[in-house]
Amino acid sequence: MDLYEGLITRRSIRKYADKKIPHDVLEEIIKAAQYAPSAHNKQSWEFLVIEDKETLASLRVIQRWTSFAKDASCAVIVCGNLNNVFCRDKDGEKWDYADIDCTLASQNLMLAAHSKGIGTCFCGASPMPLVIDGLREKFNLPEHIRPVSIIVMGYPDETPIQPDNRYVAEKIHWEKW
């Protein structure tokens, strides 16, 4: 699949066939995620792969908009490592780039999956404190690991309608606002 075509045709998939994604395919997809850009090239991401059906079904208790994960092949929880991220906590400044690094990795992951005929849906974790805490507790994540996204994945069992109204020329501001 041509890269530009992939960018335009990726849609969130929430219905999945009863078919596992082989581990070598999953590893190739997560490899692509690790080639995303990151602030100061810190590559602050970590990937927690969940395949257990009961665990997938239980995600909705922590993040209410993930009910369809029960039928997925897996979910990859993309986490930021706060011990290895471009950040600042001094002189009245407090910020880190973990969410942005991990979101870029998530997009690479989704596009790599799409190129292999695998559907994904980005489900948010950060910046929702209750979801972050819920995932930390459920998966025994240490304090320096912040779950940023839950990428639900599987072979598609739906063909989403491609929107024809995504491109809005007025959103481009040439030279001035």
Residues in the site for ligand FMN, rule: CB under 6 A? 11-12, 14, 65-66, 121-124
| Distance in Å, CB of 23 to ligand FMN, minimum | 25
Rounded CA-CA distance 133/83 in Å is 18
Q: Which is nearer to ligand FMN, 85 or 121 (CB)?
A: 121
Helix (H, G, I), strand (E, B) or coil at 51: coil
**Exposed e or buried b per residue across 14-37, where buried means at least 16 C-beta atoms within 10 angstroms of its C-beta:** bebeeeebeeebbeebbebbeebe
Q: Which is nearer to ligand FMN, 27 or 78 (CB)?
A: 78
Q: Which is nearer to ligand FMN, 26 or 110 (CB)?
A: 110
| Distance in Å, CB of 92 to ligand FMN, minimum | 28
| Distance in Å, CB of 124 to ligand FMN, minimum | 3
Beta partners for residue 47, in sequence order: 78
| Distance in Å, CB of 174 to ligand FMN, minimum | 25
Per DSSP, 98 falls in state H
| Distance in Å, CB of 47 to ligand FMN, minimum | 18
Residues 6+ apart with CB under 8 A from 118: 21, 25, 29, 153, 154, 155, 156
Would you state the structure tokens that stand for residue 94, as one six-digit string?
């407090």
Q: Which is nearer to ligand FMN, 122 or 139 (CB)?
A: 122
What sign does the CA torsion over 56, 147, 46, 114 have? positive
Q: Which is nearer to ligand FMN, 40 or 63 (CB)?
A: 63
Would you state the structure tokens that stand for residue 152, as one six-digit string?
């639900």
